Structure 1
Amino acid sequence: MTTPIAVSTMKVINQRIIPFLIICYFMANLDKTNISIAALQMNADLGLTASMYGFGVGIFYLSYIIFEIPSNIFMVRVGPRIWLMRIMLTWGIISAGMSLVQTPTQLYIMRFLLGMAEAGFTPCVIWYLSVWFPKSHRARAMSLFFMGSVLASVVGLPASGAILNMHGIAGVPGWRWLFAIEGIPAILLGLAALRYIANKPDQVTWLSGEQKQWLSTTLAKDNASVELDDKQRWYTALTNKIVIILSLVWFLQAFGTIGITLFLPLILQGMNVAQSSFTIGLLSSLPFALACLFMYLNGRHSDMRKERQYHLGLPLIIAGVCLTAAIYSANPWVSYGLLVCAVGCNFALAPVFWAVTTEKISGLAAAASIAFINTIANFAGLGLPPVFGRIKDMTGDYNYGLLMVAFALLLGGILGILVARPGPSAASTTTPSGEQQHDQ
C-alpha cells in the first residue's frame, strides 16, 4: 500500500516540477515545428520547392545530432538548472531570428543554429525526472512532461495559423510575425528556470526532512537494480545491447513523430479537407489532443499494472495499421480519422519508453545513453523530411512516404515488445513503505 509520506512527497514534487517543464517543452516543440505552418506562406516567399523545404526542416536535426550527447554530458557536470536556462535562452533568440531570413541559405543556417541551441533539452529533462521520480511514478511523470510537446500541436498549430493571418500588418508577412512572436516566450522561460529548477531534491526547501529521506531511500532502492550505472564509463554504455535496441525502437517511432507531424498541415492541404490556414491548423491539432489523452492513460495504466512490455509495443503496432489504412481509404474524412488515431497511438508509448530506459540505466551512463538514444532518433529527422519532399515532387503526394512510416512503426512495435520483456532483474523488491514492487 502507499504510505502518507509517499503521497505527500509525490504531490509536492508534481506540483513544483511538472507544470514548468510542460510549459518549457511546449515552447521547445512549438519553435521547432511551427515551420510546418509557416511553410504555407514562407515557401512561396522564399521560392522553396518541397525538396528545399524538406532540407530546411531536416538540417535542424544535423546540428541536434552533433551536439546532443556532448550537451547532456556537460549538463551532468554543471547541473540541469544552469544548462536548461542556457538552452532556452539561445533557442528563443534564434527562433525569433528566423523572422529575418531572406533567402533559402539563410533559412538553412538558422535551422542549423536552432538545432545546435536546443540539442540536449529533451534528454536533460528525462534524466532530470529520473532524479526526482521513483519507478512507480515515472511513466506518469513522463506522460505529463510529453504532454508539453503534444500541446504545442494541439494549441500551437491553431494559434500559429491565427498568427499567420496577421499577414500584411505593418507590411510584414504573416510567417515572419509567427517566428518573431513565438520565439519570445522561450527567452522568458530561460530566465525563469533559475527560479523553478533545482538540481537535486536535497537542495530545496519545499520538501521536509522526512520527505527528502523517503525520496532518497526509494530512489536508491530503485537504482540498485539498474543494468548500467556510474560504475561503467559513459561511452561504454553506448555499445550495450539494451541501449542499442532501445535506440532502434525510438528511431523507428520517430518516423511517425517526424514524418507525420512536420508534414501534417501540407498533407491535409493536399487531401482538400480544408483550405484556410486557420482551419488546416485546427484540423492538424486534433490528433495531438488525442495523443495527450493516450499518453497519460497508457503511462498511468503501465505504472498501475507494473507492466511495460505491451504498453510499449502495442501502441506503435496499432499506429502502423491505422496509417496504412488511412493511405488506402478513398474517403478523405475516413483517412483523416485514421491519421488522428495513428498520431495518438504513436505518441502513447513515449512515457513508457523513457520509464523503461531510466529503469535500466542510471547516473552518468543514463545521461549519455538517453542523449544517444535521442540522437539516433534524430537521424530520422535528418533524413525523412528531404525524402518526403522528394517523394512529393516526384509523385504529387506523400503516400509512399507514409507507407514507409507505417512499416517503421510496425517494426518498432515488435522490437518494443521484445526489449521490454521482464528479465532476471525483475525480481520483487520491498520499498521502504513495505510495498511489494516488481521492476519491469
Structure 2
Amino acid sequence: MSTPGRAAGTVDTSSPQLKSAISKTARHLMPMLVILYFVAFLDRTNVGFAEEALQVDRGVSDGAFALGAGIFFIGYAIFEIPSNLMLKKFGARFWLARISITWGIVASLFAFTHNDTMFIILRFLLGVTEAGLFPGVIMYLSEWFPNKVRVQMLAIFYLAQPFSQMIGAPLSGGLISFGEKVTPWEGWQVMFMGEGILAVAAGIVAVFVLINGPAEAKFLTDPERTALTDSMAREDHARTSDGPSGILKALTSWKVWYFTIIYFCLQIAVYGTTFYLPQQVSSLIGQDIGWQVGLVSGIPWLVGLIACYLVGRSANTVFRRRTWGTGFYLATGLFIFGSAWAGANGQPLLGIVCIVFAVASFLSVGPITWAYPTAFLTGAAAAAGIGLINSLGNLGGFVAPLMRTAINKSVPTDSGAWGVVSLGVFAFLAAALLFGTKFFRQSKSDQMLAEEVSGV
C-alpha cells in the first residue's frame, strides 16, 4: 500500500497483510519449485557420472560425449521461448507439470543407450522436453513476489542446484554402486532409470500443488490476497512503463540482449565446471568415480547452498546487487583459475578448496543476475524476454564442454588446466558487464528497492 512520501507505484512490503501473504506464498510454492528444479538439474548433469561407463559398455566416444553434453542446450534453446509462451497461455500449474513428466520419461530412456547416435539424440530430446522450466519459474516468481524480495525467492529456487549436487552426487554414485551389486542391470542404467522416474513423480505432484496466480490462492485470506494482487498490479504497471511491450519489442530490446550475454558467460563457467566436476574430483583425490567421489563432489554444493541463501536474503538494494554480483563473478573466475593451477601442480586440497569457492560464487550470483530483467519485463514481454535470455544464455552450456575439450586437445596437459582456465575468462567478462549496469537509467521497479523490508 502507498504511504505519504513513497514513489508512485511503490510496493509497501512492510504491510502486515502483504508480509503475511508473501510468507504463506513462499511456504506453499517454493518447496515444489525447488523439487522440480532439483530433479531437472540432477537429470541434466548426472551424465558426468556415467561418462566412463558409457565409453566402456557402449563405446560412446569422447567427442560424442562432449557433443551430447552440450547439444542438450540446442534443443533447450529452440523450444525455450515457445514453451514460455505456452506457459503463459495454459498456466504454470499444467505446463510446469507437463515439462517434468515428459523430461522424466526421456531421462529414463538413457538406461537403454547403446551407441553414440542414441546418446546424442536423447540429450537433444532432454533439452527439448525440459525447455521452459527454468524461465517459466523465473517468470512465475515475478508474478507472485515483489521486486524487493524477489532475489530472496530466486535464491531459494536456486538452492535446488546445490541440493541436487550435494544430495544428487552421492545419490548418483550410490545408485551406480548399488545397481552393479544387486540388479542385473549396469549401475549407470539404474541411475538413469531411477532419477528419471523421480522427475515423473514430481510432475504428478506439481499438478496438485502449484497455482496459476495470486488471485487463485485459496491458502490466503481475503485481505492477504487483495494486498498481494494489488501490490503486484502496481509493480506490473511500473514495469510496463519502463520495459518493452509485446513479444517483438522484448526480443529486440538491447537490455534483454545485454543480460543474455551476461547469462551466456555465467553458463559457460557453471556448466564447464559442473559437467566435469566428478572427473576433476576423481583426478584430484586419486579415486575412481563412485561413492567416495560422489561424497567429495557434494562438498562444494553444500557450501554453495549456504552462500546462495545468505546472499539472496541480503541483496535487496540496487547497490548491493551490482556490487556483490560483480564481486562474485570476479571470485568465480579467480577460483576457477586456482583450481586449474592446483590440478597442474599436484595440490589436491587446494584444488578442492578452489572448486568449493568457485561453485559458491557462481551460485550466489545467479539470483542477482535474474533480478535485473525481472525488474523491467512483464506480461508477454516477460515470457519472450526471459525465454530469450535463458535460451541463448544457456548455449554457454553447449559451448563450454566443446571449448574445454578443444583447448585441451590443442594445448595438451595431464591436468587439462588450459581448458579449465578458459572457463574463468568468461566469468571476468560477466563481471565487467554487470558492473556496467551502474550507468543504466534506474527503472521505476528498481526504485522500489529504496524501501526497507523487515523479516519477510
Same fold (TM over 0.5): yes
Q: Which consecutive residues of structure 2, in runs of 5 or more, have no partner in the other structure? A: 1-12
Distance apart, 1:342 and its partner CA: 0.9
Distance apart, 1:229 and its partner CA: 7.3
Distance apart, 1:37 and its partner CA: 0.9
Partner of 2:104: 92
1:292 counterpart = 2:305: yes
1:332 counterpart = 2:344: no
SS of the residue 1:232 aligns to = coil
Partner of 1:25: 37
* 8 Å CA contact 1:229, 1:366 repeated in 2: no
Partner of 2:420: 402
Partner of 1:357: 373
Partner of 1:180: 193
Match of 1:65 among 54, 73, 77: 77
- Cα distance between partner residues in 1 of 2:189 and 2:409: 26
Question: What percentage of residue pairs aligned between the two structures are identical?
Answer: 28
SS of the residue 2:60 aligns to = coil
- Cα distance between partner residues in 1 of 2:438 and 2:41: 28
1:114 counterpart = 2:130: no
Match of 2:156 among 144, 148, 154: 144
- Cα distance between partner residues in 2 of 1:420 and 1:375: 25
- Cα distance between partner residues in 2 of 1:427 and 1:194: 32
Distance apart, 1:389 and its partner CA: 3.0
Specify whether residues 16 and 25 from structure 1 end up closer, same or farther in structure 2 by C-alpha distance, changes over 3 A only.
same
- Cα distance between partner residues in 2 of 1:21 and 1:423: 33
Partner of 2:52: 40
Specify whether residues 230 and 387 from structure 1 end up closer, same or farther in structure 2 by C-alpha distance, changes over 3 A only.
closer
SS of the residue 1:109 aligns to = helix
- Cα distance between partner residues in 1 of 2:389 and 2:319: 23
SS of the residue 1:171 aligns to = coil
SS of the residue 1:339 aligns to = helix
Larger deviation, residues 305-314 vs 327-336: 305-314
Distance apart, 1:232 and its partner CA: 2.0
Partner of 2:432: 414
* 8 Å CA contact 2:238, 2:445 repeated in 1: no
Match of 1:194 among 187, 204, 207: 207
In the alignment, residue 357 of structure 2 is paired with which amino acid? C
- Map Cα deviations across residues 346-367 of structure 1 (whole Å, 9 max, x no partner): 1111111112221121111111
Larger deviation, residues 419-428 vs 148-157: 419-428
- Cα distance between partner residues in 1 of 2:245 and 2:447: 24
Distance apart, 1:186 and its partner CA: 1.0
In the alignment, residue 405 of structure 1 is paired with which amino acid? L
Larger deviation, residues 5-14 vs 15-24: 5-14
* 8 Å CA contact 1:428, 1:436 repeated in 2: no
- Cα distance between partner residues in 1 of 2:407 and 2:244: 47
- Cα distance between partner residues in 2 of 1:319 and 1:231: 32
* 8 Å CA contact 2:244, 2:250 repeated in 1: no
- Cα distance between partner residues in 1 of 2:215 and 2:333: 44
* 8 Å CA contact 2:375, 2:443 repeated in 1: no
SS of the residue 2:180 aligns to = coil
- Cα distance between partner residues in 1 of 2:423 and 2:149: 31
Distance apart, 1:436 and its partner CA: 6.8
Partner of 1:385: 401
* 8 Å CA contact 2:400, 2:423 repeated in 1: no
Count of aligned pairs between the two proteins:
435
- Cα distance between partner residues in 2 of 1:243 and 1:157: 34
Specify whether residues 316 and 230 from structure 1 end up closer, same or farther in structure 2 by C-alpha distance, changes over 3 A only.
closer
Match of 1:254 among 267, 271, 275: 267
SS of the residue 2:441 aligns to = coil
* 8 Å CA contact 2:235, 2:445 repeated in 1: no
- Cα distance between partner residues in 2 of 1:101 and 1:94: 11
* 8 Å CA contact 1:267, 1:398 repeated in 2: no
* 8 Å CA contact 1:308, 1:420 repeated in 2: no
1:263 counterpart = 2:273: no
- Map Cα deviations across residues 242-261 of structure 1 (whole Å, 9 max, x no partner): 11111111100111110000
* 8 Å CA contact 2:214, 2:225 repeated in 1: yes
Structure 1 length-normalised TM: 0.93
Partner of 1:347: 363
Distance apart, 1:139 and its partner CA: 0.5
- Cα distance between partner residues in 2 of 1:6 and 1:413: 34
- Cα distance between partner residues in 2 of 1:73 and 1:421: 32
- Cα distance between partner residues in 2 of 1:427 and 1:36: 41
